Amino acid sequence: MTLAPEVLRLDQITKRFGALVANDAISLVLRAGEVVALLGENGAGKTTLMNILFGQYVADQGSITAFGQPLPPGNPGAALAAGIGMVHQHFTLADHLSVLDNIMLGTRPLWSWRLNRRAAHDKVRALAHDFGLAVDPDARVGGLGVGQRQRVEILKALYRDARVLILDEPTAVLTPQEADALFTTLRRMVARGLSVIFISHKLHEVMAIADRCVVLRHGRVAGEVATRATSPAALAALMVGAEVLRPAPPPGTAGLSRMRLNGVTTPDAEGAPGLKAAMLDLCAGQITGIAGVSGNGQAALSDLVSGLIRPALGRLDIAGNPAPARWTPAAALAAGVGRIPEDRHKAGTIADFTLTENAVLETCRDAPFSRAGWINWRAARAHATAIIAKYDVRCPGPDTRIRLLSGGNMQKLILGRVLETAPVVVLANQPVRGLDIGAISYVHSQLIAARDRGAAVLLISEDLDEVMHLSDVIHVMSEGRISAPIPRGGATVAELGLRMAGEGFAHAA
């Protein structure tokens, strides 16, 4: 069998950050019309390697060849010109610009006096239709939800006619039907010669789309295997170096109501719907899952639970009593609400703060961290050290700036910060987005343990597998409405996906 020509070769790529070796002599080949899955735990070196390929980092050693020509290091423009497009895990969008402006940004010289916006608008709409990535080209990016921003990132790469497409968790915010549509389109494009590097922690997607899998562990290539010759379990074991056991939670037993929404309506915000006469009961000892396509009111629900907004109509009860008239984040914390936010970078941490400072962000005014109006840094540091040990946060120490951690380790610190306060309500908003399979299992086990200790856990996730696996009861959100409860096992993935898309949707009475 004749092999397709090489389109990309990474040869002995090494990258160090101080004493940390992020990439250690990594070699990788990509051929025309091939999909290669790049796998590994958080911190294994995948993102660093792709940033070197895309010119955002410069390797300490090694070389890259694209379509037979050396790729200049540290030059994203050269990567784009060579036909390499990258959809980043963390967004690189300008909030104050429109979707169309973000997509067109950098595609024309600054001195170009005329932009054919009509043609660009038509092209974006056509791409959005073909890929099932619904987004309004004229919408301001700052008013979009996380899922819609992800779609803009995908469209931005496709707009530039990429011949090599790097996809970093591209389906994290898509319904199963949308993911299937994306894969169908990718297969058509691959058949015409497009090559793809596919980074995902959803191993069933890897098995469905990839031809080969390259697995990184601790910055080195741990193995390479043809997808047809492996299994999800074998890939998971290769990623972490041991068998991965996913927690299988027994059903929870619903206790007293910890928080209840009774006909709650909230205002729309920047094009995103607010809640519409929402009915929801969060009970002790139960995980309540919220499924839905991003931008259908999940942000409003999260903001309400965490005290960022108040009901415009209806009533919010805490443990059977009306919520305080001044329902604020401080009031929510005082009521025992623990918050794992959707965006760990923007809302969950302060990048240039240390782990110690981030560990006490929400409790620095409380004992034992506050003493006579001053922060007790010895107690704070001891608290952060305990979280690092208990929640397996892999880092140099509590004085490390949190921006230097991988996404999974950031999430573990946030998880520890929340759960160590013994909250009665846990808001877990996209708690495992972008995490590896080992970190996912760990986070899930901690949420199950919180439920079993008597907390009411609200799980908001666009990953239906996660919602169906963990939840004792499921609600679907569509255009700000919340469906009647669906018991565990009461609907298939396809049925939930259709409800997420607004078909056959009936909100709670």
- Model pLDDT for residues 346-379, shown as the tens digit of each residue: 889 999 999 999 999 998 888 888 887 899 999 9
**pLDDT at residue number 197:** 95
pLDDT at 389: 92
pLDDT score at 159: 87
Per-residue DSSP letter, 45: S
Q: In terms of pLDDT, which residue wins out, 269 or 322?
A: 322
What kind of fold does domain 6-240 have according to CATH?
A: Rossmann fold (3.40.50)
pLDDT, average across residues 11-23: 90
Mean pLDDT of 63-75: 93
The per-residue pLDDT for 509 is: 39
Select from 3.40.50.300, 3.90.1150.10, 3.90.1170.40, 3.40.640.10 the CATH code of 246-336+423-509: 3.40.50.300
Which residues sit opposite 220 in a β-bridge? 217
Q: Please say whether the beta carbons of 15 and 52 come within 8 A.
A: yes
**Could you report the per-residue pLDDT of 191-201, keeping only the tens digit for each?**
878 899 998 88
Residue 146 pLDDT: 62
**pLDDT score, position 508:** 46
The mean of the pLDDT values for the chain is: 87
CA 134, distance to chain mean position in Å, is 19
Least confident of 86-90, 113-117, 259-263, 341-345: 113-117
* pLDDT reported for residue 32: 93
228-259 pLDDT per residue, tens: 999 988 998 888 877 766 666 888 899 999 99
Please tell me the distance from the alpha carbon of residue 451 to that of residue 254, in angstroms, as a whole number: 10
pTM for this one?
0.68
3-state secondary structure of 93: coil
Distance separating alpha carbons of residues 214 and 17, to the nearest angstrom: 23
Q: What is the amino acid identity at position 12?
A: Q
**How does pLDDT run across 471-484, given as a tens digit for each residue?**
999 999 988 999 98
pLDDT at 507 over 60: no
Q: Which residue spans of the chain are classified as CATH 3.40.50.300? A: 6-240, 246-336+423-509
Asked whether the beta carbons of 406 and 286 are under 8 A apart, the reply is no
pLDDT classification of 178: cutoffs 50, 70, 90: low
Distances (CA, A) of 317 to 258, 311, 322, 339, 421: 8, 11, 4, 18, 21
Q: How many other C-beta atoms can be found within 10 angstroms of the C-beta atom of residue 318?
A: 21
